[in-house]
Structure 1
Amino acid sequence: MATLELHSIVKRFKDNTVLDDVSLAVDDGEILVLFGPSGAGKTVLLRLIAGVLDADAGRIVIDGEDMTGVDAEFRGVGMAFQNFALFPHMDAFANIATPLEARKTPRDAVRAGVESVARLLKIDHVLTHRPRALSNGQKQRTALARALVGSPPVLLLDDPLRNVDAKLRFEMRLELPRLLADRGATVIYVTQDYKEAMALGDRIAVMGQAGIRQIGTPEEIYLQPAGLDIARLFGDPTINLLDVRPSRDGQGIHVALSGTRVELPAAMEPSVGRACVAGLRPETLHFVKAGTKGAVPVTIEAETPLNEKTVTLARTRGGREILVSRPAGTPGPDHGEAFLAVDAGSVLMFDKASGERIAAGGPAAPRKRATA
């Protein structure tokens, strides 16, 4: 295993700054997920760590050693590229074996290592096939197997399940953490799938324009997103965002939703009198009976069953849409007028102008690149 540190990394392509002053640290054996939209610089960051690209500024330190000027083959890094990068003239076995062959590993050990990782990734039946005879999912797993087989201390995985079918993708989400733990590597894992990020990451680094917007555990990212941009990326169905202006009177802090007073906790004091956006996760809203204190009146527009849950589209008296999610089989209205209870403790409040979350009990969090 190894530690990995990035110090003030900058990367430009002509006039386009892709990464600007990016810093982070990954602990021994940790799985850090890089998550963000396409074009955020995730793959570029991996290529810089691997030594395929050179940074314009900053330092990359692996296990205490500065990698500036160190060629890719001497960095102790394994990488599964997004575009597979398989040798077309070699079969899957030979492609996977290349890191071991480069070390002049004995033939029996090469075969044992390749067959072991191939079984784990369910491609042992196609080891004699060349890349042109493999499906995209098999190519992706072959590239992943090649990265894993040498047990490198640092492992870089660039969206390795992107081309895998839904069933296998779900299985691999369950199996990969164990597989990676067994290998003992320090891992940076890139994905655009928030469920994958939540399932695999010890921590998640959310990337935005030219840098890292927030780093935290999956729970911290979901429950305490640094801004609206991050809140929108996590959750299915997506978070409800409603313009509000919190007020305070003798009874406490509140907002008006659908003409109804909704109480907020005292910790929301920093939001009082400000133009804000309230974030309501669909699963924190619940249907209640008419007359329930604080119940918000809505009109049911549509209902969609989605296997494990049912999603309801409702509309407030002011015409604003609200999504409500409840476990499948849970009773709830499917038409006409209904009433919602809002879990005040789960309301997220964002400054409307900056988009930053207003931290309970303190001022709005400043917009800055996260470090860890």
Structure 2
Amino acid sequence: MTTLQLKNIVKRYKTNTVLDNLSLDVADGETLVLFGPSGAGKTVLLRLVAGVIDPEEGQILIGGEDVADIDAEHRGIGMAFQNFALFPHMSAFDNIASPLTATKATKDAISAGVLKVAKLLKIDHVLTHHPKALSNGQKQRTALARALAGSPPLLLLDDPLRNVDAKLRFEMRLELPRLLAAQGATVVYVTQDYKEAMALGDRIAVMSQGRIRQIGTPEDIYNAPADIEIARLFGDPTINLLDVTPQSGPDGAYVELSNVKVTLPGMPASVLGKACVIGLRPEAIVFTEAAAPGAIPVTVEAETPLNEKTVTLVLTARGREILVSRPAGTPGPISGPAHIAVSGQTAFLFDKESGGLIRSAATPMTRNGEAA
């Protein structure tokens, strides 16, 4: 059983605290995605687990064993980092084969292991090439293949698809979960791409400024982001955030958009009259007829086709901007006056002062950001 436990980890560089009392558990066979902006401490965390650097404080346990005194090469870890770290004097084949060679596997086993991952990552045609003859995408895939080839019980993957072209990146989002599941490895995967995080992670740990802000399944984090900042990070186009003050009405708490009341079911009395922020996912807003109940008047400012969807920028009566997303080919206004429909069931409410979540959307969303 290969579990990973980080207990109260602190890492500093001079006076800069990069990881601040961070604790994290990764279950056996789980793929945990570390997600967050650049500088959050994700790569430093991986290097600590790998044994490349040491923490100032805290414990790192792999399979329940404290690895403080175990050198990197003896921790049973497969690694693929952003800088490739390929051996320049070795072919792509030999680079990928290096963990198998270290275990003294037979020649046939080495060849079979290399070809298996090379075909999956679509680099079997460049196995005879040296790193200097490979594109950045091919170097990235070679480094990933090397990490996978030895079937290590613990995999650390630092944004391994960053330099891969868009088509292959999409394909690998589908293939990698199957490959990792087949290997049965425990995986810590770093990315700044929220779609990749949602596609690959059994759970996602959202990091910021050396701390874990929220951890949960992709659906948990999309449907109930812990605060405004996390809500902004998950979604394309980004969530609409508007300052509001909930009021009490005959049907319960409500807020106003373009002087139209939007009822928010299940609101605690404590939010009434309080400065809040309403969060509306663009895909949860639809264009509607003027005569429809609850229709909110807006002005269409611009429309942007984005392949599978069309994103429209509209303005409320007070000039506040709202993004509306609809599937490509769906009819909608191009300019001028229009009306939108907003369901209070799909709205988030955040405390304006703290940014913390008060109420999550009652209508769950899938990993693709569409209503389930």
TM-score of Structure 1 vs Structure 2, range by shorter chain:
over 0.9
**2:224 and 2:360 in contact (8 A); partners too:** no
Correspondence for 2:348: 348
CA–CA distance in 2 between the matches of 1:16 and 1:319? 42
Q: Which runs of 5+ in 2 are unaligned?
A: 362-372
Question: CA shift at 1:268, angstroms?
Answer: 4.7
Aligned to 1:109: 109
Cα drift, residue 303 of structure 1: 1.0
* 1:291 is the counterpart of 2:291: yes
Give distance in 1, aligned partners of 2:57 and 2:39. Answer: 20
Instruction: Look up the match of 1:365.
Output: none
Rounded Cα–Cα distance in structure 2 between residues aligned with 1:197 and 1:310:
23
State which drifts further: 352-361 or 15-24. 352-361
Identity %: 70
Change (3 A) 1:152 1:270: farther
Q: What is the identity, as a one-letter code, of the residue corresponding to 1:305?
A: P
Could you say which residue in structure 2 is the equivalent of 1:164?
164
Within 5 Å, give how 1:237-316 maps onto structure 2: 237-316=237-316
Distance between the aligned counterparts of 2:193 and 2:249, measured in 1?
A: 43
The alignment partner of 1:358 has SS state of strand
* Aligned mates of 2:191, 2:89 — CA distance in 1: 29
Residue 283 of structure 1 aligns to which amino acid in structure 2? Answer: E
In the TM superposition, what are the counterparts of 1:162-241 in structure 2 within 5 Å? 162-241=162-241
Corresponding residue of 1:335: 335
Secondary structure (helix, strand or coil) at the match of 2:358 reads: coil
**Distance in structure 1 (CA, Å) of the matches to 2:5 and 2:48:** 12
The residue aligned with 1:11 is 11
What are the superposed Cα offsets for residues 195-228 of structure 1, whole Å, 9 maximum, x if unpaired? 1111111111110111110001111111100011
- Kindly indicate whether the alpha-carbon contact (under 8 Å) linking 1:247 and 1:254 is maintained by their aligned counterparts in 2: yes
Q: How does 1:78-97 map to 2 (within 5 A)?
A: 78-97=78-97
Match of 1:121 in 2: 121
Indicate if the aligned counterparts of 2:258 and 2:318 stay in contact, CA closer than 8 A: yes
Query: CA-atom RMSD, angstroms?
Result: 1.3
Relative to structure 1, the CA distance from residue 360 to residue 231 in structure 2 (aligned partners, 3 Å threshold; closer, same or farther) is: closer
Partner of 1:266, secondary structure, is coil
- Judged with a 3 Å threshold, the aligned counterparts in structure 2 of structure 1 residues 237 and 18 are, in CA distance, closer, same or farther, namely same
Q: Which runs of 4+ in 1 moved over 6 A?
A: none
Return the letter of the residue paired with 2:235.
Answer: G
1:228-278 deviations in Å (ceiling 9; x for gaps): 110111111110010001011333210111111111102354422211111
What is the distance in 2 between the residues matched to 1:221 and 1:123? 35
Q: What is the CA-CA distance between 1:360 and the residue it aligns to?
A: 6.1
Any conservation in 2 of the 1:270–1:358 contact (CA below 8 Å)? no
Which amino acid counterpart does residue 7 of structure 2 have in structure 1?
H
Does the 8 A contact of 2:76 with 2:152 survive in 1? yes
State the AA in 2 paired with 1:12.
R
How many Å separate the matches in 2 of 1:49 and 1:321? 44
Alpha-carbon offset, residue 48 of structure 1 = 0.5
CA separation in 1, counterparts of 2:6 and 2:156? Answer: 14
The TM-score normalised by the length of structure 1 is 0.95
For residue 181 of structure 1, report the CA deviation from its aligned partner: 1.0
**Structure 1 residue runs without a partner (length 5+):** 362-372
Name the aligned partner's letter for residue 319 of structure 1. Answer: G
Q: TM-score, normalised by structure 2?
A: 0.95
1:89 partner SS:
coil
